[in-house]
Amino acid sequence: MPFFKKIPKSKVVAVIDITSSSVGGALVESNEGCPLTILAAPKKSVNFLFNVGFEASLRSTMDSLRFVAKELKNLYPGKIEQVLCVFSSPWFISQTKIITVTREKSFEVKKIFFSRLLEEEEKNFLPWLKQAGQEERKTSSQFIEHEVIKAELNGYHTRKPAGKTARSVKSYIYLSAGAKKAIESTEKEIEEIFGRAQLRFATSPLVAFRVLDAIISNKEGFLIIDIGGETTEINLIRDNVLEQSVSFPRGANLLFRKISSILNTFLKEAPSILKTYVRGHRTMESSDKITSAIKDSVKEWHDSLGDSIAVMAKENLLPQNVFLTGDEPACGYFFSCVEKSDFSEYTILGKHFIAQKINPRWLARYFNPDNSMTQSFESFKKCEVGNFQHKDIMLMMEALYANKFINF
């Protein structure tokens, strides 16, 4: 599937990735029919918090967003007129619904048919948000996405259903919403830094689905497990549909908190401590404690993963193939957990998951290998995709998504 739209002239889009533990950004240059060029990709961690509450997390996340957005603006000499912000868990909640409309006689499926369908499902989505616990954030919700991701006419997948006739129309609808306060805070920061740039929002499951479903050929389907800082997100993709998205509140920071606690040190020092442990540069006593922290964290994460997998497999058993994303070295222990654990009772063939990390090389052919920067900033990571030094998979997917699927 081509990821390059016909663009009349070169343009630069700012892509901002907002996760539970960091904010990343990219300046993406696109030219008609050419691979994308990532000019720069700054990233800023969100301050570690022992007690993760909505208000405190939002303030810290907005601080990181402000830093990244300013860095992007400072680098690019021109005016950035288009910005895509992508939320990862826990900043949104989503649902995929299947709606079938059958009539006695064939009818023409017009665009207004899907528009009315989306309007109706938006009304039904709001009560579901309350049941799903969105009201616990003590803030009202705001829609992010509402689109038909697949349509079947008379039982056949049809990529362009508008204008065709059918007796039965089966629509797969993806809906997402976020806390209104988080969306408004993001809008405010973007406007202060980029002025009245065109701003679009998206969510990570839809981005990953659109991109990976286009490049991975797998009839059985697959799971994507994205291990973030505070949360882990699981997406089920099957038969060209994003069937389910679930998340649980445990990620890499679970391990860092346990290391900090067991060594009685500052939380912000835990990532560095883990890196020295991996290199074998710790004392025997501290190494034993870190090993214990890793074991406890992996067990706790594994239990949450198992609960989520069981919920996802209630209606239909799951595919064997699992693709993993997350930052090393912390997430490496969780990756191993997926590879070694027996979830065969939940898979279609009754076998273990076949797990592998998403490789930057899968996406590299869509990017210009000569990503040179005209200026040097210590806070920027030079994005040399051709040499695979840039390994932020989500930013790469978001860049492709912005170029192919977002109409600014």
pLDDT digits 0-9 by tens, 92-110: 999 999 999 999 999 999 9
Cα 375 from chain centroid? 29
User: At residue 90, does pLDDT exceed 80?
Assistant: yes
User: At residue 206, does pLDDT exceed 80?
Assistant: yes
| DSSP helix/strand/coil, 39 | strand
d(CA 320, CA 221): 8
**Is the distance from CB of 21 to CB of 331 less than 8 angstroms?**
no
User: At residue 67, does pLDDT exceed 90?
Assistant: yes
Taking residue 209's Cβ as centre, other Cβ atoms within 10 Å add up to 25
**Is the distance from CB of 381 to CB of 361 less than 8 angstroms?**
no
Q: What is the pLDDT of residue 48?
A: 79
Structural domains for the chain:
11-91+179-215+360-404 (3.30.420.40), 93-178 (3.30.1490.110), 222-357 (3.30.420.40)
Q: What is the pLDDT of residue 139?
A: 65
Q: Quick one: pLDDT band at residue 371, thresholds 50, 70, 90?
A: low
Q: What is the pLDDT of residue 388?
A: 34
Mean pLDDT over 218-246 rounds to 94
Mean pLDDT over 14-42 rounds to 92
Helices assigned H by DSSP within 76-168? 111-131
Q: Quick one: pLDDT band at residue 112, thresholds 50, 70, 90?
A: very high
d(CA 72, CA 304): 37
| Closest alpha carbon to 77 in 32, 12, 23 | 12
Taking residue 21's Cβ as centre, other Cβ atoms within 10 Å add up to 24
Q: What is the pLDDT of residue 10?
A: 79
Lowest mean pLDDT among 242-251, 261-270, 316-325, 359-368: 359-368
d(CA 263, CA 290): 8
Greater model confidence, 262 or 53: 262
d(CA 235, CA 341): 18
d(CA 378, CA 191): 25
Q: What is the DSSP letter of 36?
A: B
Q: What is the pLDDT of residues 293-350, one digit of tens each?
A: 999 999 999 999 999 999 999 989 999 999 999 988 899 999 999 999 999 999 999 9
d(CA 61, CA 45): 8
